[in-house]
A and B are shown apart, each in its own frame.
Chain A
């Protein structure tokens, strides 16, 4: 017979559960994830290479995982910093998912890693929907991309804990209107910090590392308005318990909200659903 079943499940519940487990598992061994999002060509790799190099100089144990559709070019660049680096090829997939990330960490991530930087696939749409277990989500935009980028990609910018402007050494040449950019960020993510950097000129060197270390030490990240979980009126809550996946602002609270995770800090269901 025909039945209508009231299911009530967040579509990304599985990703969110994996992300929670990953965050908790890594926190238990003292590792914090920083998720870097931007459009292709914004300068994620250049900024990250500089920050990794600085971390190494300061003897902060860091590692980086970089995801691209193809080529190992980014890993080769990041590896010049001398810290552990891993390239993930997504074979065309436009974003990383928590299970994929988790699978790539098994057997690779050094035990004493303090900060794991994840350079997501260059894309401001799809990666925004996937919690990777990060404590700090950073969205980058270069000065050449247009001041209205935050309005065009509101979900990405709206969920950021930190916004970083890159390539400021050419800001004047390209007529970058910093005030307008800041106003647009403020519209979709009121209160979020916007920091200016130029990897080439060394401007803002260390700001990303400092913010990442602060997050790792428990400084609560910015709380984006958009990250507040929708307050449903449904009586049936199944699935909603995991609806906090993108609520990065309260990542540190998960221990209270969720039952203890099973004892596999890096869930092995990793690549279960997708080759990567």
Chain B
């Protein structure tokens, strides 16, 4: 159960990115890609994330996990296949052992939705008569 460590790593990276951006006031959601071979349970990660966000800039933020299926390609015969779970990483066409995993081990932050203090570029209201 290392999902708490993963959650803390996500929070740390979002906090750093927010600090670099300068004027972030709240984080609404964090989107992750989670490969099926990444060894992380998304439900467990969401649970830990909610707990670990308390008292941080990310308090109340939602964790959105996009699952990524495992796919591999055989180097010799170029066949591509879905590896499944448990994964079959030997080429089902030629039996070759020299494949490449194309996807399935992702554990990455892809997008963050946050609020910042920037003034909207859109026109503000017209002053009312008393203000003129």
Q: Is the interface of B mostly helix, strand, loop or mixed?
A: mixed
B100 and A228 contacting across the interface, CB-CB below 8 Å? yes
Question: What does the 1/0 interface line of A167-187 toward B look like (CB < 8 Å)?
Answer: 000000000000000000011
A226 and B101 contacting across the interface, CB-CB below 8 Å? yes
Closest chain B CB from A81 CB (angstroms): 30
- Residues of chain A within 8 A (CB-CB) of B87 are 154, 158, 187-188, 226
Closest chain A CB from B91 CB (angstroms): 8
Instruction: Confirm or deny: B17 has a beta carbon within 8 angstroms of a beta carbon on chain A.
Output: yes
Name the residue among A10, A188, A225 with the largest chain B CB count within 10 angstroms.
A225
Closest chain B CB from A120 CB (angstroms): 12
A3 and B103 contacting across the interface, CB-CB below 8 Å? no
State which size class the interface on A falls in: 35 or more
B9 and A14 contacting across the interface, CB-CB below 8 Å? yes
Closest chain B CB from A228 CB (angstroms): 4
A1 and B107 contacting across the interface, CB-CB below 8 Å? no
A151 and B86 contacting across the interface, CB-CB below 8 Å? yes
Closest chain A CB from B16 CB (angstroms): 9
Query: Number of contacting residues on B, CB 8 A?
Result: 50
Closest chain A CB from B24 CB (angstroms): 8
- Residues of chain B within 8 A (CB-CB) of A4 are 111-113
Q: In the complex, what distance in Å separates the CA atom of A218 from the CA atom of B37?
A: 29
Among A28-36, A53-61, A91-99, A204-212, the stretch in contact with B? A91-99
- Residues of chain A within 8 A (CB-CB) of B104 are 230
Q: In the complex, what distance in Å separates the CA atom of A172 from the CA atom of B105?
A: 37
- Residues of chain A within 8 A (CB-CB) of B42 are none
Q: In the complex, what distance in Å separates the CA atom of A152 from the CA atom of B105?
A: 16
Q: Assuming the A-B contacts A13-B13, A125-B39, A273-B12, are A226 and B113 also in contact, with contact meaning beta carbons closer than 8 angstroms in the complex? A: no
Instruction: Confirm or deny: B102 has a beta carbon within 8 angstroms of a beta carbon on chain A.
Output: yes
Q: Assuming the A-B contacts A7-B111, A129-B39, A226-B87, are A191 and B97 also in contact, with contact meaning beta carbons closer than 8 angstroms in the complex? A: yes
Q: In the complex, what distance in Å separates the CA atom of A67 from the CA atom of B28?
A: 38
- Measured CB to CB, the nearest residue on chain B to A148 is B86
A5 and B9 contacting across the interface, CB-CB below 8 Å? no
Question: What does the 1/0 interface line of B1-43 toward A look like (CB < 8 Å)?
Answer: 1100110111011100100010000001000100101111000
- Residues of chain B within 8 A (CB-CB) of A93 are 5
A:221-244 near B, CB below 8 Å: 225-228, 230-232, 239-240, 243
A contact residues vs B (CB 8 Å cutoff) = 1-15, 93-95, 97, 125-126, 128-130, 150-152, 154-155, 158, 186-191, 225-228, 230-232, 239-240, 243, 246, 273
- Apart from A5-B112, A11-B13: 6 A-B pairs, beta carbons within 8 A: A2-B115, A8-B108, A225-B98, A226-B105, A228-B99, A239-B108
11 contacts between A and B (CB under 8 A): A3-B115, A11-B107, A129-B107, A150-B86, A154-B87, A189-B89, A190-B97, A190-B98, A225-B72, A225-B99, A231-B102
